[in-house]
Amino acid sequence: MLKVGGSISAEHGIGQLKRDELAHIRPAIEMDLMRRIKSSFDPAGIMNPGKVVSLP
């Protein structure tokens, strides 16, 4: 997909299969922002743990 100029598109989330790939194609600052937002809404990490980003 990425080899031919495609990207990850997700209306309802990226899904578990593409979670690790997302970290390779998005800038580190964007991944950090997603983690910070998740942490602010779910500080205990109980909502969909590890589905898109893992919290430290």
pLDDT tens digits along 11-56: 666 777 777 888 888 889 988 998 899 899 999 989 888 777 776 6
CA angle 18, 50, 14 (to 5 degrees): 30
**8 Å CB contact between 38 and 55:** yes
Asked whether the whole model's pTM tops 0.75, one would answer: no
CB atoms within 10 A of CB 53: 19
Mean of the pLDDT values across residues 5-12? 66
